[in-house]
Amino acid sequence: MPSKVEIDRHLNILLEYQHPSGGFPASPTFPPYRYCWFRDGSFTAHALELYGKHEAAHRFHQWCVDTILRHAHLLESTRDTILRGDLLKPEECFPCRFSLDGQPLQDGWGNHQLDGLGTWLWAVSDHLERSPCTPPAEWQHARALTASFLQALWRFPCYDCWEEHPHDLHTYSLAAAYGGLQAHGRTQKDPASTAAAGEIHSYVLKHGVVNGRLAKRFGSEEIDASLLGAALPFGLLDPASVIMTRTLQTIEDQLTSPSGGVHRYQADTYYGGGEWILLTAWKGWLHARRGELDQALQALAWVQGSVDANGYLPEQTSRHLLAPDFLPRWEQQWGSSASPLLWSHSMALILKYNLLRVQEDTGRSWSNG
Ligand code: BGC
């Protein structure tokens, strides 16, 4: 089972790299990732929250509130442009990532990504439920703006969580929008958010299911490991439901390497298409929730086996590559794969937390796997 020493090491890495502004760099040492993404940061804040680091989580959410309110005009221009059917210009688009002091970057990044804000709306609602306090009025304002942005735009294409395919509708992005709106609707008693979440749920079941399991994007049969998120944390599907069971099985069959590491999707060429730490932990989290403890422990052992001599977890490993010819060109462009990747450490912590809860609930103890 996860030891306290291992848990503290992951926690210390997250805490050490939190910027004084409250933002988290996706990776502090990998230049293209020295920015704060709503997606990565929200999972990091959630992991800290689970281990009682409420103040650090709170500071991240304050960073999000400040950033959203400072750039609310970009939420408006993104929404209005898309609703008019016009092409979104980079300077009009609300970014998926900001500098650590909350400034947008004009560098041509694929910015319009709904899942990041959906994840934040879910994470901030969860934070306020776990650490009840009366948040300042500005928090309510930022949450309401985010909810209404998601309500207006979920039916329109955006970049997916891997920052690709801007012309498609993505099941994971919809699941994240669902998770955010559902949590907001429930905690804020906001019927418009609850209604939009209900519509997203029906829409995904109608268009996002192929062969009895979820598909990466509408109109395609491709599988993608991010679909794990439809169950956890976003709750679009029950972890034990038939569709989720088939989705998990397809991820096992098509995206899990013989060593147990999980790839993003079969056509992945980024850094040669390696096994992602965070996805392997995510799969373990779902197994733990489904009561499949051996598989959850195997995922944990795989993740722990990927920790380097500095205690860092990278974004991906190059042990089993789907497209090895592509690795050198990425290494020439940006150097080795990002490490530490804070999202990898966060998912490792979330998996460990869930395994500890199962242990408490069942009274079962395990040797360190
Ligand atoms: C991934 C994103 C992630 C970003 C920062 C990108 O390569 O596709 O999902 O948010 O890195 O970690």
The yes-or-no answer on residue 199 being catalytic is: no
What average pLDDT is seen over the chain?
96
* Eight-class DSSP state of 94: P
Residue pair 119/180 in contact (Cβ under 8 Å)? The answer is yes
Question: So what's the pLDDT on residue 349?
Answer: 98
Give tens-digit pLDDT for 152-193.
999 999 999 999 999 999 999 999 999 999 999 999 999 999
Residue-wise DSSP of 321-352: -SSGGGHHHHHHHH-SPPSS-HHHHHHHHHHH
Q: Residue 335: what pLDDT? A: 96
With the most atoms of ligand 1 within 8 angstroms of its CB, the residue from 33, 282, 330 to mutate is 33
Residue 368 pLDDT: 45
Q: Which ligand 1 atom is at minimum distance from the Cα of 37? A: 10
- Closest protein CA for atom 12 of ligand 1: 26
Residue 222 annotated to the active site: no
Using the mean position of ligand 1's atoms as its centre, give its distance from the Cα of residue 214 in Å.
22
Which string of b and e fits 224-255 if b means at least 16 CB within 10 Å? bbbbbbbbbbbbbbebeeebbbebbebbeeeb
25-38, pLDDT tens digit by residue?
A: 999 999 999 999 99
Kindly list the structural domains of the chain, giving each domain's residue range(s) and its CATH number in brackets, ordered by start.
Answer: 4-362 (1.50.10.10)
**Looking at residue 369, what is its pLDDT?**
37
Indicate which residue of 163, 199, 292, 331 is catalytic.
Answer: 163
Atom of ligand 1 nearest to the CA of 338: 12
Decide whether any atom of ligand 1 lies within 6 Å of the 48 Cβ.
no
Measuring from atom 9 of ligand 1, which residue has the nearest CA?
A: 162
Is the CB of 38 inside a 6 Å radius of any atom of ligand 1? Answer: no
Q: Note the pLDDT of residue 100.
A: 98
pTM to 2 decimals? Answer: 0.97
Q: Do residues 146 and 180 lie in contact, with contact meaning Cβ atoms separated by under 8 Å?
A: yes
pLDDT the model gives residue 366: 61
Q: Which residues of the chain have pLDDT under 50?
A: 368-369
Q: Which atom of ligand 1 is nearest to the CA of 341?
A: 12
Whether 345 lines ligand 1, by a CB cut-off of 6 Å, is: no
- 315 belongs to the catalytic site: yes
